[in-house]
Structure 1
Amino acid sequence: MNMLLSCDWGTSALRLNLIDAKSGQIMTGERSDSGIAKTFELWKATNITDENSRIAFYLDVLQQLISNIETRLSVSLNGVKLFISGMASSSIGFIELPYSQLPFALSGPGLQVKHLPAPEGFNHAISMISGVRSADDVMRGEETQLIGCVEAIESTAVNQVFILPGTHSKHIYVHQNNITGFKTYMTGDLFELLSQKSILHNSVEKENDIEAAEHALSFKQGVTDAAGGNLLHAIFKVRTNNLFNVYTKKQNFFYLSGLLIGTELKDLAVNSKDQFHLLCGAGLEKCYRMAFEQLNMAKQLKTYPPQWVDEAVVRAHHKIYNQIGN
């Protein structure tokens, strides 16, 4: 069977899928927390600065996942082509590539793609997909995810904004199927820092059930406070909420989440005629949808099945594979 390996290597996670190269259907996949940031730190700890050793180190991480698939399916994947997008082509990846420029056509021809023959000890030719830059912002991976979504999204809106939540959330502005601008929000990164490494970490306790009434209440209050106040002041209320028994630590967890997501989304309130598309996994989808409702912008919002969103990079890789003539 003609097969293809599709790798989405983000800042904090690594996803590898084996797909049918003809149909684009996923056959099986592997997931790992060995994101580019973690892999880069592990490589630096080796104190080896040779670039060939760096490439080999990163490819060893991928080889472990490929070997897991081979073992599970009892097949050899030697010679199967590998497509990689995300942070792998960044300054902390294993090969840094230049960015594509705006405006960027979502049909895909403007992508910077570097084709590498199979490196020694790694039996897979590699196609590395780079990111996109503006005058003051960059993204790697989200543009590929969007390529895998736009063809199936129907909208009559002239201007569309695609929201891709995550460690570094992206708001991507699209006009006539071209990316015309985007903004990065360090929402997830800041939430981790504040909830785990600041004075606030003793005032919150991790909880996943945002739909519980008491959790939804505190989350919505965080969104409201973010929309009408100063974030640097509002985040200290996480501590006083705990000191004065306003919220439990679990409620406070969602209050902090609401503050940060509300701060991210309030920029969109000025785009009252735009169509918003939310592209994210199941956990964050509930939070962002609730925040849109609290900000009275739910009528402009379209959401999509989380699994379909998760598979967007695979669809994009399959499309690019066909575009370049296999």
Structure 2
Amino acid sequence: MNSETTFLSCDWGTSAFRLRLVEREGLKILAEESSKQGNAATAERWRQAGQPPEQRAAFYQTVIQEHLAKLEATVKTSLAGLPVVVSGMASSTIGMVELPYKPLPFAADGADLEVKKFEPTPDFDHETLLISGVKSEDDVMRGEEVQLVGCGFENTAEEQLFLHPGTHAKHVQVIGGQAVALKTYMTGELFGLLSNKSILAASVEEGGRLDGGANRHWFEEGVQASRRENLLHNAFLVRTNDLFGRATKAENYFYLSGLLIGSELQELLLRLPARIVLAGEPVLLAHYEAALRGLGISDKCPVETKTAEEVTLNGQLAVLRRPAPTAVAPTAAP
């Protein structure tokens, strides 16, 4: 494989690992390997190995190498020498190296993100770029900054919004080619807690699609309810919907989703941006698109949707193409 035409994309989260072989032109994925070997599991493996701190980066590279071997078996050729771009939680306290957060603002084209470069070694024959996260005075993100770069925001004086749904949804304001403000919403995590650990767990049932049966109707009911009442009251209606036979448990699942997503998006009604770029996993994109329509937001400002895969690869390639930082060589693992 040619390092001028292909690269290795590593999206390394807390609980999941994904490695892709990617063509630079058109960002075509040639092969992919994924596992549950996220940073949390890798950090535990490293602690159990009892290795000194200076060997940590090399230990994490052995995990990448395990997945690389599987990629090579898939494509039936050597991938030696291809650069690896790593984003996500790998630059955190549980990652291969803890890098400092880049303070806001940062350039929306990724020109000034915090990046650490590791030189190839005899044990890991790949230049490695590790991308750090971003912080405001009271908020942080790791991984989403690369996805924001991959959105290709215009350099305009108008306020644009990067909206990334997920466990911890991110809203980032972009003005004049700079990401200037950041807010995290614990929408996905709260949904998981309420639907699995609270009294509401007995009143909801996961399954089905947004467009299945009356699910969309109940999702939209939840979105509209988020405009009328406080979330702490609205959440209890999930239980009474079930007790009084108003909705099935599956429909209630979508009602609760609509309540929480609608509550997250309320602030946009007070201050609409000129444009929203919604980037994430396809299932969540459908929910957020429906909520933005239900609240009338998408009628007042354009909403562009992009997949998490697309913006991650775009963002990583943008970082790969920028002038390289000074490289270091990780201490080899014994």
Deviations 1:240-260 (A, max 9, x none): 222222211100111111111
2:9 corresponding residue in structure 1: 6
Distance 2:260 2:26 in 1: 40
Distance 2:102 2:269 in 1: 29
| 1:305 to partner: Cα distance | 4.7
Distance 2:26 2:242 in 1: 53
Task: Select 1:35's aligned residue among 31, 38, 44.
Answer: 38
Task: Select 2:80's aligned residue among 78, 81, 85.
Answer: 78
- DSSP 3-state at the match of 1:15: strand
Indicate if the aligned counterparts of 2:155 and 2:176 stay in contact, CA closer than 8 A: no
Task: Select 2:106's aligned residue among 104, 120, 124.
Answer: 104
1:217 corresponding residue in structure 2: 217
1:116 corresponding residue in structure 2: 118
- Unaligned stretches of 5+ in structure 2? 326-334
- TM-score normalised per structure 1: 0.89
Indicate if the aligned counterparts of 1:148 and 1:314 stay in contact, CA closer than 8 A: yes
- DSSP 3-state at the match of 2:284: helix
Count residues in correspondence: 321
- DSSP 3-state at the match of 2:96: coil
| 1:279 to partner: Cα distance | 1.2
Q: Does residue 182 of the first structure (1) align with residue 182 of the second (2)?
A: yes
Indicate if the aligned counterparts of 1:115 and 1:125 stay in contact, CA closer than 8 A: yes
2:70 corresponding residue in structure 1: 68
2:316 corresponding residue in structure 1: 317
Distance 1:64 1:40 in 2: 16
Q: Does residue 26 of the first structure (1) align with residue 25 of the second (2)?
A: no
Distance 2:194 2:62 in 1: 33
| 1:284 to partner: Cα distance | 0.9
| 1:216 to partner: Cα distance | 0.9
Indicate if the aligned counterparts of 1:84 and 1:127 stay in contact, CA closer than 8 A: yes
Indicate if the aligned counterparts of 2:108 and 2:178 stay in contact, CA closer than 8 A: yes
Distance 1:136 1:305 in 2: 27
Identity of aligned residues (%): 42
Indicate if the aligned counterparts of 2:274 and 2:302 stay in contact, CA closer than 8 A: no
Change (3 A) 1:255 1:33: farther
Q: Does residue 303 of the first structure (1) align with residue 304 of the second (2)?
A: yes
| 1:206 to partner: Cα distance | 0.9
Distance 1:107 1:13 in 2: 26
- Unaligned stretches of 5+ in structure 1? none
Q: RCO (CA 8 Å, sep 6+): is it higher in 1 or 2?
A: 2
Indicate if the aligned counterparts of 1:215 and 1:251 stay in contact, CA closer than 8 A: yes
| 1:74 to partner: Cα distance | 1.1
- TM-score normalised per structure 2: 0.87
Aligned AA (1:160): Q
Indicate if the aligned counterparts of 1:14 and 1:31 stay in contact, CA closer than 8 A: yes
Change (3 A) 1:209 1:150: same
Deviations 1:22-63 (A, max 9, x none): 66543222233433345445656x384743565455334323
Spell out the pairing of 1:198-209 with structure 2 (5 A cutoff).
Answer: 198-209=198-209
Deviations 1:122-147 (A, max 9, x none): 33331111111100001111111111
Task: Select 2:18's aligned residue among 15, 18, 21.
Answer: 15
Indicate if the aligned counterparts of 1:278 and 1:301 stay in contact, CA closer than 8 A: no
Aligned AA (2:186): M
- DSSP 3-state at the match of 2:73: helix
Change (3 A) 1:115 1:74: same
Indicate if the aligned counterparts of 2:83 and 2:126 stay in contact, CA closer than 8 A: yes
Distance 2:246 2:152 in 1: 44
Task: Select 2:145's aligned residue among 121, 136, 143.
Answer: 143
- DSSP 3-state at the match of 1:150: coil
Deviations 1:138-175 (A, max 9, x none): 11111111111215xx6977111111111111011010
Change (3 A) 1:296 1:116: same
Change (3 A) 1:261 1:59: same
Change (3 A) 1:131 1:159: same
| 1:297 to partner: Cα distance | 1.0
Change (3 A) 1:63 1:245: farther
Q: CA RMSD in A?
A: 2.5
Which deviates the most, 260-269 or 62-71? 62-71
Aligned AA (1:78): A
